[in-house]
Structure 1
């Protein structure tokens, strides 16, 4: 790549403009990267404050400070602790520090996860509702996610049947995000191809006593948050309320969201802590629908005419109460988690869907760090169970209003997962990992209002998912890993629901797969990396035919498919000590305890690359066609100047260099694109912080994502336009 993705060490290999094609997005990116006038201005603004913190000081009398015996929550570990724990997993895992994405707009899942290796997330119309996928999980879904286990503080946000809502997440209330790709999510009982994403909340130990944040920008977007967190003796609390609204880039794409997140923890003693969580979300979303390719190219901000005529929307209220209690004694820890969630959905699309859901879940997990036969050993044993009950009513859509009732059903979902994993250090630097999971899923459909026949139906699924891995700690900062695993994914009611007059549930098998993974992560001097290669053989992949949200869709089991790819993140300190002398950083200081502090200023390049080769394997209808909906190559990069006073600025680029298919027949493609952005700001642990961020500054017309169709033609509405040029600004104050 022109920017030198795998950086060998020479700065001029990254910034040599003459090696970049004049029409490449990198020519724009590098050109703007080298224009550091604004960056230097910020650097000249900061040195006064910086010099005050680094100037020699007079010798002061010795002061003895006694540390708090319990400096952090037992149920919510610090970022540093979690990074250390996850480094023992032989596969694709990473932690996203919320402080990183809070330096810009922090509204959508894309804002939070854009630089997480292996995660592909694209909003359908600039809002939370997105296509989110890891390793091609849930590839047919651009809405109401599936194929991943989405969690809040270790408890599932998924409904019991497997689906989840992106709007249930508030990125601003998170302390960090754990990402487990594929079978590396076994420690949370996940069996899916994609793995798990866990948003971990702020607590009284990590939050400011009082904080306010305001964001505003293009398309009449506004966002406000007020939060507070404190430690009060053995108890602590955190509470956050957020309001956001936007008219959207497209017609009929107005959004309005209100969310409350709160938790209260109490430490009964040094080894026992319980924490209660409360979540409330109210979200209203207009759905502008998909466009044809001609409509996308001529006027991308228009809405689908059918979506407007039917006043398609997705509105719901969510109430969720959870508890997590940790019992720790020496090298042993027992964690008990439970939750209840209530959701009221009003969803006019080609029909009106009215659902009332109650979901319950419990997970009991035991962790041991005790040595085994004189060797270091990590052992996990867990049991998770979920039950969901949904009253499902369907009506004819009369311009967004309910017409004649067409169905009155009850959905019951049951899931039970028993999982265990052991990490045994054969030597001080080589560990063998063995894991397995047994799963049971039941989908019970009861028709309460019968139209000609009783369509009551039940389907049950059993799965066994073993895992074998090896982890080699080459040195304290470098690891190499390998694993082979199985995955198991039963269908949700969204896939099982029949189309037309078919009785009961669609007869579908569970999706199963075998995955091998090889990778490395680490740090060497100015370069840090996280690289993984994987190859998955899937049987009975769940693929849907139609246009989700616009027309009837029907999910089928495909034959054998292949998911093969590369997940890569490479961070490089290109320059150090430009105007502020560089010093070696030490652990236990800086932005976050336990992470490397920026001592001196630097020019920092962050890069994420995703290669996705997903295809049929000798299918009777589609041969070896590529699976649609996701680009083969996706590259995201940011070049930031950072000063230790808190100032930062620089450009970023998002690049899809190759067109990709939108249908299983491989007859039509979404075009390639390159987006240029720029961000600058100032962030400090206390006091005033601010940012200004520009997105798609060249006003590129492009499809952010697409639907997945069986066969597309010129009249197929399969394209979801990305936002046009936009600018956002925000301020934040912490006391």
Structure 2
């Protein structure tokens, strides 16, 4: 299946590459005034508003919780690779880059225990889960250049996507012929560390049928030794209208990703010689190479003007070649099917609407673990088949009981199984299953047409992944409980005159929280349940303002701030210490100057008060990194961009693995340095009009 799909995508890529009219940046610097009478504009600065984007904005506004929509214009001028780039001004998102797309990603502390790759947050692209069926995932198959907009569903706002975790979900919606503002587009990027990226798309709307094809090729030597990458991706999205009330959309993504891993180093090396790699990472040729195909289809049926049914499915074939201290070969098949029903009625003068849905996932991972002999496979030490099966059902009911005041109630139920077959010893075939119902209730009040207040109370639930259950590659499951908790959230969003804002406070009480202790800096950290309860408390805030300094000059200051205070509650070992890995204060500040077709925006990123260990004996050094972004719209076709980072070329640490007690640790090669001074530039061309 993978070879067939690769050939299919390869043919499409050849078609695009050999036609000079094809290329990628769909929205060539659509500059619009994001302040207006519509509260939805606080979430997006986009003048080419599509039906999908409009629906996302309406969904965000209707939630009794903090949901953010980020359009591609938000990050079109950056060299965007990780979520730190695409969600730079989205509060509450902590994304600490490691290499390439890889980072520590956490929302409200969910995923904090994952010292590598991803857990606790569900990622979806065009409805296709990036996480495996057991919840584990990574970032390498996400290409921001294929993205129309991103929806950040924090906490229980993600029930509709099937996620029950504390952090919620991040939905990436791909570009299609209806959402791009140019039929053909091209972007060529280059800059520091041998960086080159070419992206391209072509789109056509034939009436009932619309087609888009896109490719991206990227290479980079990397700031650090042994961090080069060479990646090719292709994307297609096809829509067909069977009638005025029935439409199907289908497509897929091909990934051929080759990335070297520089590994973690000591704090001194991270600060003073950040370009150096871990010697063992070089000697054993650490890498993470992926070949994958993700296919999807979605059909929407407007049964009546008030009732809509959406159903579809997805298939993923994925090959992973991953030499680290051991050599991992994974071959994954993952299937997803879903159905969603949305309706609305008037009940005795009270407008009500609802969403009912279900999702089924079935995944197989054929995993072989060998010894790593200098980057080559040695003797096989593990051979297992991991089968995860998950069923999720959810429902939400909303009623506007009086003008501007809405009550929201929801319930989601998950049942999931973990079955492992030990192919080296068939007598060892452990099984585990988890299930729970999680409710939520919230209120939403429109103080004015442009200002909302919201509050909600919700439950969260997260079962362990296979990696948690088979720690150290053992074919027997370790005793782990699912993490569950209750979260209270209150906040406001809106616009007042020249200001836009979103501010939320949350408090989560967790039981059995997953925490990670790194015992060997080069091996995955074992996962444990916290002995007692833990508390996650935080603030997510962003403010954007726009002022006309002169007739031609607009000044736009912007601030995004995240506060996190995550603590143990009378733990027998760690008392009331703070949890490791979570910066207490972090954010980004920008001051943009817009003059006709020119824009320049100095910025800074900061992070403070981050403990490395749960004993709270060692903190990461605080940092503030300065940068500047600029763009110039030459004409309706061509736009130039500049993205300069770490202008002072300072050494700093983006993140570290979490450990129990740094004062007694014998190996502290656990730190990831940030990149030095870097400058990226791009030329983006879009033409051919709207499809």
Residue 503 of structure 1, CA deviation: 5.1
Query: How far did residue 104 of structure 1 move?
Result: 2.2
Partner of 1:733: 685
Question: Distance between the aligned counterparts of 1:78 and 1:295, measured in 2?
Answer: 47
Give CA-to-partner distance per residue, 1:361-403, whole Å, 9 cap, x none: 0110001122233211120000011010010100001011100
In 2, Cα distance between equivalents of 1:205 and 1:647: 28
Counterparts of 1:534 and 1:362 in 2: how far apart (Å)? 33
Check 1:685–1:349 CA distance in 2 against 1; reply closer, same or farther (3 A cut): farther
Q: Is it true that 1:250 corresponds to 2:202 in the alignment? A: no
Aligned to 2:140, the other structure's residue is in SS state helix
Offset of residue 190 of structure 1: 1.1
Partner SS, residue 732 of structure 1? strand
Q: State the match for 2:599 in structure 1.
A: 648
Q: How many Å apart are 1:289 and its aligned residue?
A: 0.8
Q: Deviations over 1:384-441 (max 9, x none)?
A: 1101001010000101110010011000001111100011101011000000011101
Note if contact 1:419-1:438 (Cα within 8 Å) is conserved in structure 2: yes
Cα separation, 2, equivalents of 1:458 and 1:641: 59
List alignment gaps of at least 5 residues for structure 1. Answer: 1-49, 51-71, 581-600
> Do residues 418 (structure 1) and 418 (structure 2) align?
no
More strand by share: 2
- For 1:337 and 1:711, the matched residues in 2 are separated by 48
Contact 2:333-2:364 at 8 Å conserved across structures: yes
1:307 aligned counterpart, secondary structure: helix
Residues 3-53 of structure 1: CA deviation (Å, up to 9, x unaligned): xxxxxxxxxxxxxxxxxxxxxxxxxxxxxxxxxxxxxxxxxxxxxxx9xxx
Is 1:673–2:647 an aligned residue pair?
A: no
* Aligned pairs (5 A) from 1:521-670: 521-546=493-518, 550-559=522-531, 560-573=533-546, 575-580=547-552, 601-643=553-595, 645-656=596-607, 658-670=608-620
Residue 109 of structure 1 deviates from its aligned partner by: 2.2
Residues 259 and 711 of structure 1, relative CA distance in 2, 3 Å threshold: same
Q: Give the SS at the match of 2:268.
A: helix
Residue 105 of structure 1: CA displacement? 1.7
| Alignment of structure 1 residues 87-486 onto 2, 5 Å | 87-125=61-99, 127-207=100-180, 208-328=182-302, 329-450=304-425, 454-486=427-459
CA deviation after TM superposition for structure 1 residue 682, in Å: 2.2
Rate the CA distance shift 1:499–1:164 in 2: closer, same or farther, 3 A.
Answer: closer
C-alpha separation between the residues in 2 aligned to 1:132 and 1:685? 38
Per-residue deviation, 1:297: 2.6
Partner Cα separation in structure 1 for residue 488 and residue 160 of structure 2: 18
RMSD: 1.8
In structure 2, the residue corresponding to 1:183 is in which secondary structure? helix
- The alpha carbon displacement at 1:80 in A equals 3.1
Q: Is the 8 A contact 1:345 1:355 kept in 2?
A: yes
1:546 is displaced (CA, Å) by: 1.3
2:216 and 2:404 mapped to 1: Cα distance? 46
Task: Please say which structure displays the higher CA radius of gyration.
Answer: 1
Q: Which residue number in structure 1 is paired with residue 637 of structure 2?
A: 687
Flag as ranges the 4+ runs of structure 1 deviating above 3 A: 683-686
In the alignment, which residue of structure 2 is the partner of 1:722? Answer: 674
**CA distance in structure 2 between the aligned counterparts of 1:221 and 1:504, rounded to whole angstroms:** 44
Structure 2 unmatched runs, 5+: 1-31, 33-47
Q: Which moved more, 1:546-555 or 1:134-143?
A: 546-555
Structure 1 residues 718 and 685: alpha-carbon distance in aligned structure 2, compared to 1, 3 A threshold: farther
Is 1:105–1:111's contact at 8 Å kept on the other side of the alignment?
yes
How far is 1:577 from its partner? 4.7
Q: Do the aligned residues in 2 keep the contact of 1:630 with 1:705 (CA within 8 Å)? A: no
Compared with structure 1, are the counterparts of its residues 548 and 521 closer, same or farther at alpha carbon in structure 2 (3 Å cutoff)?
farther
What are the superposed Cα offsets for residues 297-326 of structure 1, whole Å, 9 maximum, x if unpaired? 331111111211211111111101100110
**How far did 1:549 drift?**
7.3
CA separation in 1, counterparts of 2:510 and 2:558? 32
Using a 3 Å threshold, how does the CA distance of structure 1 residues 624 and 194 change in structure 2: closer, same or farther?
same
Picking from 642, 645, 650, the partner of 1:700 is 650
- Please give the per-residue CA displacement for 1:624-648, whole angstroms capped at 9, x wherever unaligned: 11111121000201111123x4321
- 2:57 corresponds in structure 1 to 83
Q: Distance in 1 between matches of 2:661 and 2:374?
A: 29
* TM value normalised by structure 2: 0.90
Conserved? CA contact 1:332–1:370, under 8 Å:
no
Query: CA offsets, 1:226-272, max 9 Å, x none?
Result: 10112112010111100111111111111121111111000111111
Distance 1:117 1:333, change over 3 A: same
Is residue 271–residue 653 contact of structure 2 (8 Å, CA) maintained in 1?
no
Q: Aligned partners of 1:270 and 1:301: how far apart in 2? A: 57
Q: Deviations over 1:658-712 (max 9, x none)?
A: 3321112222111001100011112489400110111000112110111111222
Q: Is the Cα contact below 8 Å between 1:179 and 1:197 reproduced in 2?
A: yes
Q: Distance in 2 between matches of 1:401 and 1:232?
A: 51
1:478 Cα offset (Å):
0.5
Aligned-partner Cα distance in 2 for 1:234–1:441: 40
Does the CA-based 8 Å contact 2:521-2:667 persist in structure 1? no
Secondary structure of 1:446's match?
strand
On the 8 A contact 2:341/2:356 being kept in 1, the answer is: yes
| TM-aligned CA deviation for residue 606 of structure 1 | 1.4
